[in-house]
Amino acid sequence: MSATITGPWCRPKNTSADEKGGIHDDDTAQGLGFEGGTIAGSIHMEEFPPMLVDYFGDVWWSNGGISLYFKAATIDHEPVRCLLEPISATKARIWMENEAGAVVMEGSASLGDDEDSEVSRRIAANRQASDLRMMADVVIGAPSFMLLTNKTNRRTSLIIFAAMMCIANGLSAIASSLPELVFYRVLSGLPHGAYFGTALLIAASMAPAGKRASYMSMVFAGLTIATIVGVPMATLIGQNMSWRVCMALVAALALITIALIYMFVPSSPVTTPTNLREEFGVLKNKLVWSISGIIFVGFGGVFCIYTYLADTILNVTNSPEVTISIAMMMFGIGTTIGNWFISKLADKSPLRTTGIALLCSVGVSVIYVFAASNIWWLYLTVFLLGASVGLAAVIQSMLLDVSPTGHAMIGALVQCAFNTANAIGPMLGGALLASGASFNETGYVSAMLFFGGFIMWALSYLQLRNRNPALATS
């Protein structure tokens, strides 16, 4: 192997220092524990081409590639240098280091396609299911807090959970380092699932006969509307002011929520308290697992497409970045309308509505593959995909029907199911992309996941037909 080639020391300029509210801004970066505003990765990558042309020749400009991942941040005019270790005539290991010898970034460069690049191998290595992190704070927090408060007045529980989110987000706004910020973000996520699970149980207890799905859908409607308004608003504030302002506003909204809950949500005592043994006894019910499986498997189809939607728009539809925001808004509007429409149908026939909606979602996912060539058809498809989320309230309502006790565990299980689906969908979609598929072809994976959800629905139908024919024919 040839000797390592070392480039000269250089002092890159932080050209993004004026972008207030981002990690390249001194005030923001220092608040996160960095010495100053960080240099954008693209600036560092521009240091490598002269060295690569010297090694590979001018042909590298037309037939070369570079694959890097970052390990450490640098600040304005901090000395760094590039290094190259030859592997073959068409491939080399490359990295950048600072004066202390710390690696800033590393990866590989090549002539032609390099299917075994450093980054590709790392991505493949990270696709182990045992290493999967599925929004762990939400998955852990939902069952823990809901079971701990299973005998507490549910309105009181809501206030406690909202207060926890208020405090954690407020502390996030004044975090003095990155580890401290991460810790507070974990704390803010812990009560998240329990909050929505408890809110759904309150809505179910308030609903008159035959209206449970509609009442529970109102909770999801609040979530979807908040997403449509909140995400672009938070982005706008973060870009023009500071992320700390966003965190402070979320804390203030949580405080307002506490007041509104106290003023308008009726007291909701647990009329038939259960112990932990009874709550965990719900998990012995096979029907609970098959109905929950509709979420565990089927809803992975939603997240499979949604995760790679922006990449599809940029790389397949070839539309400008602004269309990503429009597509996200169409998804949110679809979720809101679908939540209302599907719940109305489900008030009369929840099981039949769920089965039909799952099959329709299979079709929408397949159409997505072909609709991606036209932005207007893509908008419509994404709208319909969002509408499928309306099944969430219906499925939880069905779970309450088949399990007369252990509702705290049911609420926790639903939250865990959603977050597991949020991991499974992107993971399987990513596996397909790693094999060389196009971004829009994640629609095929989505269709299979939705069909998997339909199989779980069919298993639930068969069990219901034997246990309770009245529910099976609804």
Please tell me whether residue 87 adopts helix, strand or coil conformation.
strand
pLDDT of residue 304: 92
> Which residue is listed with tokens 């020391």?
9
pLDDT of residue 133: 45
Q: Is the pLDDT of residue 214 over 80?
A: no
Q: Which burial class, exposed, middle or buried, applies to 344 when counting CB atoms under 10 A from its CB (0-12, 13-18, 19+)?
A: middle
Q: Greater confidence, 216 or 180? A: 180
In the chain, CATH 1.20.1250.20 sits at: 131-472
Neighbours of 308 (CB within 10 A): 26
Fold category of 5-126 in CATH: Thiol Ester Dehydrase; Chain A (3.10.129)
pLDDT of residue 135: 46
In the chain, CATH 3.10.129.10 sits at: 5-126
% the chain with pLDDT above 70: 87
Alpha helices in 46-125 (DSSP H): 49-56, 59-63, 118-125
Nearest to 457 by CA among 295, 247, 325: 295
CB 206 within 8 A of CB 215: yes
Mean pLDDT of the region 31-55: 84
C-alpha triplet 305, 456, 217: angle, nearest 5°: 65
pLDDT in tens, 252-269: 999 999 999 999 999 888
Extract the tokens encoding 178. 């990155």
- Local structure of residue 298 (DSSP, 8 states): I
Mean pLDDT of the region 139-157: 74
pLDDT of residue 239: 62
Extract the tokens encoding 270. 């647990």
The backbone torsions φ and ψ at residue 404, rounded to the nearest 5 degrees and listed phi first, read -65, -20
pLDDT in tens, 404-415: 777 777 777 777
pLDDT of residue 90: 87
**CATH architecture observed for domain 131-472:** Up-down Bundle (1.20)
Give the max Cα distance, the chain.
79
Q: CA-to-CA distance for 297 and 422, rounded, in angstroms? A: 10
pLDDT class of 456 with cuts at 50, 70, 90: very high
Neighbours of 221 (CB within 10 A): 18
pLDDT in tens, 265-289: 998 887 776 666 777 777 788 888 8
Across the chain, mean pLDDT equals 82
Neighbours of 212 (CB within 10 A): 25
